[in-house]
Chain A
Amino acid sequence: MREVAVIGIGITKFGELWDKSFRQLIAEAGSKAIFDAGIEGKDIDALYIGSMSSGRFIGQEHVGALVADAAGFSHLHIPATRIEGACASGGLAVRQGYLSIASGVNDIVVVGGIEKMNDVAGASATETLATAADQEWEAFFGATFPGLYAMIATRHMHDYGTTKEQLAQVAVKNHANGAKNPYAQYKFEVTVEQVMAAVPVAHPLGLLDCSPVSDGAAAIVLCAMDKAKEFTDKPVKIIASGQASDTLPLHGRRDITTLDATVHAAKMAYKQANVTPKDIDVAEVHDCFTIAEICAIEDLGFVEKGKGGKAVEENITTLDGEIPVNTSGGLKAKGHPVGATGVAQIIEIVEQLRGEADKRQVEDARIGLAHNVGGSGATCVIHILEAI
């Protein structure tokens, strides 16, 4: 397998972007990544686009070709493919781009991720997000997407004594980080009291335990390592890519509070990179809900199973903690345009490893991990990156 590096990154602001269309957003992120890499259209061998549900959010499928067209590449006839794996669509697109270079088929690819979620009403967005769950055996009976994570939280509290305050502390930390991120949807801090008093969504989760409905796009340029030096002095190497699946409905899982897809994707990635959880200097994890970050840091092996809540309480995951998690603000504060999220996570890790994360910079960050989950845990994709 050939080695692969990230040589360019580009991201739009995340948020309620009423004045921007799907096409404008992906073209903006893509052109920023292409300029950052110093490549041209003729250098690109393929495009991979992660989008969860453009069909339901903007009534448009076939967005691989649409993105190539919006980027001004239609006359170059570049192969363009859309990848879908619910909220993990972006991470899966990164993995497809990575595999296509590692295999020797492509030299340079652009990976984009996008979701335009605010062109439909709030209840329709909730319904579309619920399509990541099992339509016939969960959603049909009234389960919502936050409801599934709420059931994980109820059981985590029961089994390990995790508290609502500890859940709230995840939101407090991620908002504090988001406040330092110019691209974040929520650039303000919150208190534990505010999170605990927020309007209930699905007990025990309130509105401030949930990531928002967002518009946004992100793009990266991947290049074979042996060619990367032609374009940049600071390539960031992808040293592992892991992926795993599990039952679609939550009720089918071995253990309600463990995302086995995370456990297995992590095992695959740690083995490929030849690192242990202790070697990770900074991580972006899939905190679609506060409980999801607690499960993630356990399932990734940063802390023991059941100790996630305590770890957050003890500030182990803050910007100056032992293992800084979601320095970007995470899905919680940076925003969660679902298809863009997995690509945006890679961008935050690349900025950290380049030493360009400004006020969010983790000192001496050398190895970073990005963890992207689809649904309530039926898909997980993990990448580990290293500064060269």
Chain B
Amino acid sequence: MKESVARFWREIPQRYNIIGNKCTVCGRVFFPPRESCPYCRRKSLGKMQKIQLSGKGKIVTYTIIHSATEDFEDQVPYPIAIVELDEGPRITAQIVDCKPEDVKIDMRVESTFRKIRQDGSTGAIYYGYKFRPMR
């Protein structure tokens, strides 16, 4: 099924630059940005402020994907992890620039801008964040 390009470009700030937001009532930080804070709810409406996240964090857990969906079949085996950013939010992303077997829990990582996948040989190319071991 062909997806609209708009579905992708509306997420560009988050996926290209890791823009999250912050509840100015309680100070909690979210990624991706939320319409309201789940803790302050109605009090937070109109008080959510966009912020640039550092893209630095540590691995909470990971796996190495051997059996992928069609879009990612050409990349197997690839590690994917849940990363806890230094500002608090957790994020799911591929880990690159290291051997899959070197990925470990608590490893420090940083974000890097990469190609995620493409829609066949003539379709759109999708970019976004992956993470690599901190240098």
Contacts and interface: CB of A to CB of B under 8 A. Distances in A.
Task: Give the residue among A142, A147, A204 with the most B Cβ atoms within 10 A.
Answer: A142
Report the interface size class on chain B: 35 or more
Interface string B90-124: 11111000001000010000000000110000000
A154 B130 CA distance: 20
A147 B69 CA distance: 11
Nearest to B129: A141
A138 B92 CA distance: 6
A249 interface: yes
B86 interface: no
Interface stretch (A7-15, A121-129, A166-174): A121-129
Given A142-B116, A151-B62, A202-B66, A123 B73 contact: yes
Contact of B69 (A139, A150, A153, A249): A139
A191 to B, nearest CB: 22
B37 interface: no
Nearest to A154: B61
Given A155-B61, A251-B91, A201 B70 contact: no
Contacts of A142: 65, 68, 71-72, 75, 78, 80, 94, 116-117
A250 B69 contact: no
A110 to B, nearest CB: 33
Nearest to A121: B70
Contacts of B75: 142
Given A138-B92, A140-B116, A130 B69 contact: yes
Given A152-B61, A251-B92, A200 B66 contact: yes
A120 to B, nearest CB: 11
A144 interface: yes
Contact of B70 (A124, A136, A256): A124
A147 B80 contact: yes
A251 B32 contact: no
Given A141-B92, A141-B93, A142-B94, A151 B63 contact: yes
B12 interface: no
Given A141-B116, A142-B80, A152-B61, A252 B66 contact: no
A256 B60 contact: yes
A137 interface: yes
Contacts of B78: 142
Contact of B82 (A126, A146, A250): A250
B116 A154 contact: no
Contacts of A153: 63
Nearest to A256: B61
B49 interface: no
A142 B94 CA distance: 7
Nearest to B15: A140
Contacts of A139: 69
B31 to A, nearest CB: 9
Nearest to A205: B63
A158 interface: yes
Contact of B65 (A127, A144, A152, A204): A144
B70 A155 contact: no
A263 interface: no
B67 A126 contact: yes
A141 B70 contact: no
A154 B62 contact: yes
Given A123-B73, A124-B70, A147-B80, A252 B90 contact: yes
A62 interface: no
A154 B63 contact: yes
Contacts of B126: 140
B19 interface: no
A144 B11 contact: no
Nearest to B11: A136
A359 interface: no
Given A140-B128, A144-B69, A153-B63, 20 more contacts: A123-B73, A126-B68, A141-B92, A141-B93, A142-B72, A142-B75, A142-B78, A146-B67, A151-B61, A154-B61, A154-B105, A199-B66, A200-B64, A201-B67, A203-B77, A204-B63, A249-B92, A250-B92, A251-B92, A252-B90
13 contacts: A130-B69, A136-B11, A141-B93, A141-B130, A143-B80, A144-B69, A150-B63, A154-B62, A158-B105, A200-B66, A203-B77, A251-B82, A251-B90
> Would you list the 4 A-B pairs with minimal beta carbon distance, nearest first?
A150-B63, A155-B61, A203-B64, A251-B90
